[in-house]
Structure 1
Amino acid sequence: MKKKMLLFISLVSVVLFSGCAKWIDRGESITAVGSSALQPLVETASEEFQSQNPGRFINVQGGGSGTGLSQVQSGAVDIGNSDLFAEEKSGIDASKLVDHRVAVVGITPIVNKGIGVSDISMENLRKIFLGEITNWKELGGNDLKIILLNRAAGSGTRATFEKWVLDGKTAIQAQEQDSSGMVRSIVADTPGAISYTAFSYVTKDINTLSIDGVQPTDKNVTTNKWIIWSYEHMYTLGEPKDLTREFLEFMLSDEVQNNIIGQLGYIPVSKMQVERDWQGNLIK
């Protein structure tokens, strides 16, 4: 009896292991890495996808757009999430990557609630990040030293902000954070603080700034009245296959585009009344 039981257990183990091997071979687990601005959307969509497809897993990580692009190019991950076009990032061969634009995200200056300023000119916003304005009282606000926070150098959010606000110049040296969520938390807790983040990270514990009287809203992004925005890209090394292809199709499905995207503070690409190329030129 004991020998029969051991034989039965061995047979079951072989079957289970064989099934597991086939599951792995089918590519039932993929990894998406990169943009922290895009991360909440991909995480939420992946959870919904997994609930509809038990046993299939989407591993989502941040790290910044530069990380996403470099890792997908090297084949280390299946999807590279980016706020930037691959053509904008040095060291990336865009010809090897396939671009899947899943959404648009607006980016806004965020400030601590105690600064006493709600609107700023683009020129003065630029001067703040270039270190030429250092106290909020210079802009009619409270007598508070301006505390700058930047995203890390590989951040697509930072690159977009510097492109449209600083005319491509680099902000002065300041505290840097890899995470949009951490930036928001520090700004909320630090008197005089200013930074920038995707609309999707804006919460009630911080304030946004309008620029030259233009509010940071989805509607203003769709018409390019608010110019600080970017596409949210999910890049693959060549055409996607198997689970990668299915998940990207899900990202572009009506379920995600018409429901999840808006709920999380993103904008469906289909609602944009303008279109940009990788150099920032309007082509529509």
Structure 2
Amino acid sequence: MKKAVMLVMAIVLTFTLAACGNNANNSGGNASTPPASNNSGGATTEPSTEPSEEPKLEGSLLATGSSALQPLVDQASKMFMEKNSGVTIQVQGGGSGTGLTQVSEGQADIGNSDVFAEEKLDADKAAELVDHQVAVVAMAAVVHPDVKVDNFTKQQLVDIFTGKITNWKDLGGDDQAIVIVNRPASSGTRATFEKYALGQKSEDLQGSIQEDSSGTVKKIVGETPGAIGYLALSYLDDSIKTVSYEGVAATEENVVNGTYPVWAYGHMYTKGEPNEVAKAFLDYMLSPEVQEGPIVELGYIPASKMQITRDVDGNVTKK
């Protein structure tokens, strides 16, 4: 009897211990058991892996100046605005001098120029500007398609633009008066042409035509018998005739290797460091999308392709 009672007590104790063990496991007493998922947003909720959106770029820019650089900046600005719907960019001409003056005086965010700021502004004002070189702009003498001249020497161009030669017959052409289509004094294209093609300043001759817009210059030269002017390579087409300089054609290859001298950097100046929107746009100008796109398509040359460099004094150094 005593043995039977002890056996019953052992069996009861065994079941009691087993039940306690099960209760401990179900109550989370086991530290290795992960907590149940929490859908109520408590501390145990896993952090989101969704990437945060970048702040939207917003603002407006005004870029003014060089008409030679205008087609490039205009095209690039449209591409930039397509990518940044919160940004508005206005691009205006007026000449390099105008662009430099307006950015210096705070009237524009970017001053487009074919020349270094030091060539147009006082030293103290030029020192306030930051230079962003985005391309190379080459220029060529152009004439009406019927003019029978294929090459100019430096001296012949000097004689034309200073009024010493006034008829094409003196250069082997027809007996026809020369009609000069020049640029105003504020023009960077004129400054570049005078510096690197003529080697001197030209005069505003009586009877000559002055026009700042490169598009209008092309139209006038193409439609006026006997006309001569000069344009950036980005404006050249069959409506006008491009003339070689000292026996060298105005081609990208000849500009890049330093054989053809009539070219300038395409500068986009800001007063001090650019603001957020201007910096984003200027960075975009140097991106492969622009350097390998509009710059090439519109007849400009990426500055990175140049085999030479040139300083404000015109000194050339091979890279």
TM-score by length of 2: 0.79
Aligned match of 1:244 in 278, 283, 306? Answer: 278
Q: Aligned partners of 2:249 and 2:317: how far apart in 1?
A: 24
1:42 counterpart residue number? 73
The aligned runs of 1:265-280 (5 Å cut-off) are: 265-280=299-314
Asked if 2 retains the 8 angstrom alpha-carbon contact of 1:66 and 1:89, the reply is: yes
> When the two structures are aligned, how many residues end up with a matched partner?
260
- Within the candidate set 125, 132, 153, 2:157 is matched to 125
Offset from partner CA, 1:36-78 (integer Å, 9 cap, x none): 0000000000000111111311110000000100110111110
Distance 2:259 2:149 in 1: 21
Aligned partner of 1:113 in structure 2 is 145
Give the CA RMSD over aligned residues: 1.3
CA distance in 1, matches of 2:272, 2:72: 23
Q: Which amino acid aligns with 1:102?
A: V
Q: Which residue of 1 aligns with 2:251?
A: 217
- Structure 2: distance between partners of 1:157 and 1:31: 21
Structure 2, unaligned runs of 5 or more = 1-55
Once the two structures are overlaid, the 10-residue window that deviates more, 127-136 or 36-45, is: 127-136
Corresponding residue for residue 13 of structure 1: none
Distance 1:27 1:76, change over 3 A: farther
Distance 1:172 1:144 in 2: 21
**What residue is the counterpart of 1:17 in the other structure?**
none
Is the counterpart of residue 60 in structure 1 residue 85 in structure 2?
A: no
Cα shift at 1:142 = 1.3
Q: Name the residue aligned to 1:80.
A: 111
**Which residues of structure 1 form unaligned runs of 5+?**
1-22
Pick which of 232-241 and 112-121 moved more: 112-121
Contact 2:58 2:86 in 1 (8 A): no
- The structural deviation recorded for 1:121 is 1.5
Find the counterpart in structure 1 of residue 316 from structure 2: 282
How far off its partner does 1:27 sit? 5.5
* Counterpart selection for 2:168 from 136, 158, 161: 136
| Partner in structure 2 of residue 167 of structure 1 | 199
What displacement does 1:91 show? 3.4
For the Cα contact (< 8 Å) 2:66–2:112, is it kept in 1? yes
Runs of 4+ aligned structure 1 residues displaced above 3 Å come to: none
3-state DSSP of counterpart to 2:156: helix
The answer to which structure, 1 or 2, has the higher relative contact order (CA under 8 A, 6+ apart) is 1
Name the CA distance, whole Å, in 1 between partners of 2:147 and 2:202: 24
Contact 2:104 2:271 in 1 (8 A): yes
Q: Which has the larger radius of gyration?
A: 2
2:131 corresponding residue in structure 1: 99
User: Residue 187 of structure 1 aligns with which residue?
Assistant: 221
Instruction: State the identity as a percent.
Output: 52
Aligned equivalents of 2:99, 2:121: Cα separation in 1: 13
Question: Residue 256 of structure 1 aligns with which residue?
Answer: 290
Of stretches 220-229 and 166-175 in structure 1, the one that deviates more from structure 2 is 166-175
- Work out the CA distance in 2 between the residues paired with 1:281 and 1:169: 18
Counterpart amino acid of residue 106 in structure 1: A
In structure 2, what is the Cα distance between the partners aligned to 1:267 and 1:178?
22
The answer to whether the aligner puts 1:147 opposite 2:179 as a matched pair is yes
Q: Deviations over 1:114-165 (max 9, x none)?
A: 1111112121111111111111111111111100010111000000111122
User: Hey, what's the Cα distance between the residues in 2 that align with 1:180 and 1:171?
Assistant: 19
For residue 78 of structure 1, what is the amino acid of its counterpart?
Answer: D
**TM-score, with structure 1 as normaliser:** 0.89
Question: What is the one-letter code of the residue matched to 1:156?
Answer: G
- Is the CA contact (8 Å cut-off) linking 1:98 and 1:236 kept in structure 2? yes
- Quick one: distance in 1 between partners of 2:201 and 2:184? 15
**Counterpart-to-counterpart distance in 2, 1:133 and 1:68:** 33
